[in-house]
Amino acid sequence: SSAASSLLIQKCACFLVASEVEQTYIMIKPDGVQRGLVGEIISRFEKKGFLLKGLKLFQCPKDLAQEHYKDLKERPFFPNLIDYITSGPVVCMAWEGDGVVASARKLIGATNPLQAEPGTIRGDLAVQTGRNVVHGSDSPDNGKREIGLWFKEGELAQWESVQTPWLIE
Ligand code: ADP
């Protein structure tokens, strides 16, 4: 019937849209791991209601850190930044949801933790720009780029959360 075929078209359209939901790359930096903040930081994104797509503890090699931060390579702090990011394991995460890139940046707070609002991760948990505990992609394009850089094929999970119908009408 035409009703059944229009439902099918709707479902296909839904699937196409769903497969292109915005994703962001969030990383707990070595200071966050060393300071025992992994659970606290993951918890902020979980509680907000975003979908966790990928998660791993990882010792970042120098060339990956340099590629990740390549836009900053002319800045005076670049060598220190690479030493910092490679100084211990980081926690790599991919999070998904409508508007997740900008929202995660708000949850993270300003680059300088002394300027970050209370209630944000950096505002609550850090004091220095050079030790600001967490990274979040600054655009959906960079979200894609960075997830591609830090995760291998097959490392992201395809799953649906039972919470979704209670988060999204
Ligand atoms: P954000 O991480 O908030 O997107 P940027 O992209 O400007 O900030 O910088 C990337 C990272 O480089 C910062 O999170 C911080 O770890 C480091 N960084 C930026 N500016 C400085 C600085 N002036 N001194 C030391 N480290 C810095």
Q: How far apart are CA 110 and CA 114, in angstroms?
A: 8
Q: How many helices (H) and strands (E) does the chain have?
A: 9, 4
Angle, CA of 61, 64 and 69, to the nearest 5°: 125
Output the CA 140–ligand 1 centroid distance in Å. 19
Q: How far apart are CA 78 and CA 70, in angstroms?
A: 9
Nearest to 109 by CA among 92, 129, 89, 90: 129
Q: pLDDT band at 10, cuts 50/70/90? A: low
Q: pLDDT band at 20, cuts 50/70/90? A: confident
Q: pLDDT tens, 82-101?
A: 999 999 999 999 999 999 99
Q: pLDDT tens, 132-164?
A: 999 999 999 999 999 999 999 999 999 999 999
Residue type at position 55: L
Mean of pLDDT over the chain = 93
- The ipTM, to two decimals, is 0.99
Q: Which of the 8 DSSP states describes residue 118?
A: B
* Nearest ligand 1 atom, CA 69: 10
Residue 121: both structure tokens together: 């991760």
- Annotated catalytic residue: which of 44, 53, 68, 135? 135
